[in-house]
Amino acid sequence: MPRGRVGIVALLQESNTFLAGRTTLAQFAADLLVSGESVRTQLAAAHHEVGGFFAGLEAAGVEAVPIFAARALPYGTMTGECLAALLARLDEAIDAAGPLDGLLVAPHGATVSESVADVDGHWLGRVRRRCGDIPIVGTIDPHANLSPAMVAATDALVAYRTNPHVDQRDRGLEAARLIARTLAGEIRPTQAAAFPPLAINIECQDPSAFPCLPHYEAAARLRSAADAAAGPVPRGTVLSTSIVLGFPYADVPEMGSAAVVVTHDDAAAARTLADTLGGGLWQARETFRPTLLSIDAALDLAAGLGGPVCLLDMGDNVGGGSPADGMSLPRAILARDLGPSFACVCDPAAAAAADTAGVGGRLRLAVGGHAVEWADDPSSQPVAADWRVVAVTAGRFTESRPRHGGATAFDQGPTAVLAHERGLTLMVTSRRMAPFSLGQIRHAGLDPAAFRLLVAKGVHAPVAAYGEVCRDFLRVNTPGVTTADLGRLSYRHRRRPLHPFE
């Protein structure tokens, strides 16, 4: 017989408050918005924490009860109407699930709405009040702006430990093991979090390298082998530790870094150890300063490298919510003779025009740069040029291996590939698509290894995919709403003081 019924809930969206656009329910519907058994159908096999939830509960002999899952690509602040609709669907799905012995939850941790700044703390608290005193264990993205409300509403939170996030399923398995052992009476998770007044620059957020690595190593040393032990474990045993890096593009009071420690039945020990990890981040605060490599300097460096070289477009980071149509790097590449190059931008009108012209057709187009965010930045505005249509596709592709985000199927809408006589190949899509899979390039008949330069609109996330072909990665300080130069953003709501601003 199953050892209890554990519900599964996911609500994930990373909200960039510096964007003019808003996230609506339609954007969730275009990505993921399901209830009941459809949650299992969509996510049980995915490289995602929810896939880990299902697998971990099955291994432990616990009944998994799929309740609700919603996800939208990072974009602007969620509308109040969107949040209300999501919460209504969540309430309905919980009511339909029947009695539960526990919950596994997957918030992102950096979701913001027009009506509620701390969306994740809000919906987690709502679920806690609705479901009562049952264990609630969850996963969070390390780009969460963790809040005391999120911590108070849950018994344990586990953050991904990689960036690119290729361990999402593993963290889901970890969360499932924690709740299964809790239901079996082996452990009683108690958690505490520390919130040092530190905003960690996105360029510095690589857990596998300095300056983050020492803190992840410290967190790993605190974790014990309790998970592998049979039966009850000693009181105070560390069950889980997490470093939370924060999301500096959500201008909210919770913005910043954090550390989480979960112990067995010892709140005081959890508090002491969380403060130790948080204190380590604070003491090392001066190490979290970015390099800020300019476009010209990056192209100078790339010219001396053998290639393929990946140029990471930090200011137009799709995974951080950006418009995905900034032209600063393609424009600069066209101005130089650097060999065959590739970039992808979202431009539905250009994709439609290329489709009309057909493969082999030639046309003059002003491509990219149409988002209002580029109004004051000439370098990112449209590039008008003569193009040859190389390919036209439906824009659908798949990814079989663990990649950032855990998705396996992608749809960027009608897509065209345009070639410029100076060696630049430009993929134009009808929907924003983060560069998380080389299937994006290959599905159009292109070989990513054939390019000397590949522009990827991201910071760390594209590395998991592009590392397959690129020898070198250069993080470029391009303009945009995800700029690595945080001094260029106008914050109104973040906490103060907050390093490095004060």
pLDDT tens, residue by residue, 377-397:
999 999 999 999 999 999 999
Distant-in-sequence, close-in-space partners of 343: CB < 8 Å, separation ≥ 6: 329, 330, 333, 424, 425, 426, 427, 454, 455
- Strand 258-264 relative to strand 238-244, pairing: antiparallel
Query: Which string of DSSP letters, residue by residue, matches 37-100?
Result: HHHHHHHTTSSSHHHHHHHHHHHHT-EEEEEEEEE--SEEPBPHHHHHHHHHHHHHHHHHH---
Handedness of CA 199, 204, 205, 210 (dihedral sign): negative
Helical packing angle, 213-222 and 267-283, nearest 10°: 160
Handedness of CA 154, 208, 174, 277 (dihedral sign): negative
Q: Per residue in 57-98, pLDDT tens? A: 999 999 999 999 999 999 999 999 999 999 999 999 999 999
The residue behind tokens 């018994």 is 155
Judged against a pLDDT cut of 90, whether residue 408 lies above it is answered with no
Q: Per residue in 183-241, pLDDT tens? A: 999 999 999 999 999 999 999 999 999 999 999 999 999 997 554 555 678 999 999 99
The predicted structure's pLDDT at residue 64: 98
Judged against a pLDDT cut of 70, whether residue 296 lies above it is answered with yes
Q: Per residue in 249-263, pLDDT tens? A: 999 999 999 999 999
Judged against a pLDDT cut of 80, whether residue 301 lies above it is answered with yes
3-state secondary structure 416-452: EEEECCCCEEEEEECCCCCCCCCHHHHCCCCCHHHCC
The domains of the chain are located at 5-287, 295-484
The residue behind tokens 């990946």 is 310
Please state, in angstroms and rounded to a whole number, the distance separating the CA atoms of residues 412 and 457: 15
Which is nearest to 169 in space by CA: 249, 295, 56? 56
Please state, in angstroms and rounded to a whole number, the distance separating the CA atoms of residues 227 and 239: 7
Q: Per residue in 458-485, pLDDT tens? A: 999 999 999 999 999 999 999 999 999 9
Q: Per residue in 333-348, pLDDT tens? A: 999 989 999 999 999 9
Residue 158 bridge partners (DSSP): 139
Judged against a pLDDT cut of 60, whether residue 48 lies above it is answered with yes
Distances (CA, A) of 149 to 155, 284, 378, 494: 12, 26, 42, 16
Q: Give the mean model confidence (pLDDT) for residues 135-152.
A: 98
- Percent of the chain topping pLDDT 70: 98
E-strand ranges in 77-187 read 102-107, 136-140, 156-159
The DSSP letter of residue 222 is: H
The predicted structure's pLDDT at residue 444: 98
C-alpha dihedral (208, 211, 212, 215), degrees to nearest 10: 120
Query: What is the strand order of the sheet 238-244 is part of?
Result: 189-194, 258-264, 238-244
Distances (CA, A) of 109 to 15, 402, 442: 10, 21, 33
Judged against a pLDDT cut of 80, whether residue 405 lies above it is answered with no
Categorize the per-residue pLDDT at 3 as very low, low, confident or very high, splitting at 50, 70 and 90: confident
The residue behind tokens 């344990």 is 156
Q: Per residue in 306-360, pLDDT tens? A: 889 999 999 999 999 999 999 999 999 999 989 999 999 999 999 999 999 999 9
Backbone angle region of 18, left / alpha / beta, with phi > 0 → left and psi within -120 to 50 → alpha: alpha
pTM: 0.95
Q: Give the mean model confidence (pLDDT) for residues 423-438.
A: 96
3-state secondary structure 268-307: HHHHHHHHHHHHHHHHCHHHCCCCCECHHHHHHHHHCCCC
φ and ψ at residue 150, rounded to 5 degrees: -65, -40
Which is nearest to 346 in space by CA: 365, 324, 328? 324
- Strand 238-244 relative to strand 472-476, pairing: unpaired
> Average pLDDT over the chain, rounded to whole?
96
How big, in percent rounded to 5, are the helix, strand and coil portions of the chain? 35, 25, 45
Q: Give the mean model confidence (pLDDT) for residues 120-124.
A: 98
Judged against a pLDDT cut of 50, whether residue 1 lies above it is answered with no
Q: Judge contact between 366 and 426, C-beta under 8 A.
A: no
